[in-house]
């Protein structure tokens, strides 16, 4: 195996940790990167992701492969079956999920991540994954599909990037936040609170890292929804997923092993080899939009690996 240090993907930011997981998941769809593993390495006072790949694969190969994979998004059942997850009836979800079960495993995993048909909101619709923090005119699935299309097409506009440039920024940094891309609530550094902005947040341009958002979206199947909670989330006193937590580990792990690791409680992660555990609280900016707060280190430290 050969290691590629992903210096743009740090462990202490939810969107960045999710993007590292998403990158690993996408690699399993790509023949030349199938079997890759993910670990974390301390560098410059923080943990960076390290992708262990089959021998002979380079950073350039990875960038090209990810950009090529995004071109297939328009044919993926999980992205085109509906525009958004909110307002989804139990019957519609059941029928779509049942159809997904007759297809490939990955599509079924996506539907497990979208929600659980026995968990409903006050209107009787399926409660979507807490990682869907969109609201108002935003459409979670259509927005993801449009993002994938931007990452697989020729750039338009002076500030637009070639797909390969976008992936290089996300994977290797630095993150410049120049893209007109909403971070979907996963990046606390992009939150706009009206009381502290020079104008209404809705009138301000987006500033994100579009390839990082896409790769983070690709991590969703690692966080399935169940009748008693959602993997990676601690429940509030009212039984709602309110705190997102994730581990940092040293030895490179397969996507299957990481799924099992993520299924542990935050306390058990530390007992089973996590060298650090972070968490971000989920909160509502208003009655429509949610976001993650600044992450907290709840177990371990950077010094744990020295």
Q: What is the pLDDT of residue 304?
A: 46
Contact 41, 251 (CB under 8 A): no
The string of DSSP codes covering 78-95 is: HHHS-S-STT--HHHHHH
For residues 47 and 9, give the distance between their C-alpha atoms in angstroms, rounded to a whole number: 8
Confidence band, pLDDT 50/70/90 cuts, at residue 159 = low
> Is the omega angle on the peptide bond into residue 174 within 30 degrees of 0, that is, cis?
yes
pLDDT for the residue 205: 73
- Across 186-205, average pLDDT: 65
Measuring CA to CA, how many Å separate 190 from each of 83, 140, 160, 167, 173? 24, 18, 19, 19, 17
> What is the structure's pLDDT at 286?
80
Burial of 242 (C-beta count, 10 Å sphere; 0-12/13-18/19+): middle
Query: CA 182, 184, 190: angle at the middle one, nearest 5?
Result: 60
Instruction: Tell me which DSSP letter residue 189 carries.
Output: G
pLDDT at 136: 81
The model's pLDDT over 206-224, given as tens digits with 9 standing for 90+, comes to: 789 999 999 999 999 999 9
Nearest to 233 by CA among 127, 140, 125: 127
pLDDT score of 122 = 92
Higher pLDDT, 138 or 176: 176
* Stretch 115-143: mean pLDDT: 94
Residue 69 has pLDDT above 50, yes or no: yes
């Amino acid at each position: 195996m050969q290691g590629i240090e992903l210096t743009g993907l740090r462990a202490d930011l939810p969107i960045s940790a999710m993007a590292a997981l998403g990158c690993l998941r996408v690699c399993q769809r790509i023949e030349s990167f199938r079997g890759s593993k993910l670990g974390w390495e301390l560098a410059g006072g923080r943990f960076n992701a390290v992708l262990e790949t089959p021998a002979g694969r380079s950073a350039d190969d990875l960038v090209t492969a990810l950009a090529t994979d995004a071109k297939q998004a328009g044919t993926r059942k999980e992205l085109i079956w509906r525009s958004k997850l909110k307002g989804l009836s139990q019957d519609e979800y059941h029928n779509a999920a049942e159809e997904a079960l007759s297809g490939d495993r990955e599509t079924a995993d996506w539907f497990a991540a979208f929600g659980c048909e026995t968990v409903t909101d006050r209107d009787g619709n399926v409660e979507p994954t807490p990682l869907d923090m969109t609201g108002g005119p935003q459409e979670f699935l259509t927005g993801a599909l449009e993002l994938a299309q931007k990452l697989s097409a020729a750039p338009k506009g002076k500030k637009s990037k070639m797909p390969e440039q976008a992936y290089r920024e996300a994977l290797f940094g630095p993150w410049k936040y120049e893209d007109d891309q909403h971070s979907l609530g996963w990046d606390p550094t992009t939150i706009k609170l009206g009381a502290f902005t020079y104008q209404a947040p809705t009138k301000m341009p987006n500033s994100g890292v579009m390839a990082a958002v896409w790769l983070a979206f690709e991590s969703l199947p690692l966080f399935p929804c169940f009748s008693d909670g959602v993997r990676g989330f601690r429940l509030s006193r009212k039984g709602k997923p309110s705190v997102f937590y994730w581990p940092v580990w040293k030895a490179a792990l397969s996507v299957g092993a990481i799924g099992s690791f993520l299924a542990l409680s935050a306390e058990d992660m530390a007992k089973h080899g996590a060298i650090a555990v972070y968490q971000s609280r989920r909160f509502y900016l208003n009655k429509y939009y949610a976001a993650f707060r600044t992450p907290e280190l709840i177990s371990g430290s950077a010094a744990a690996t020295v």
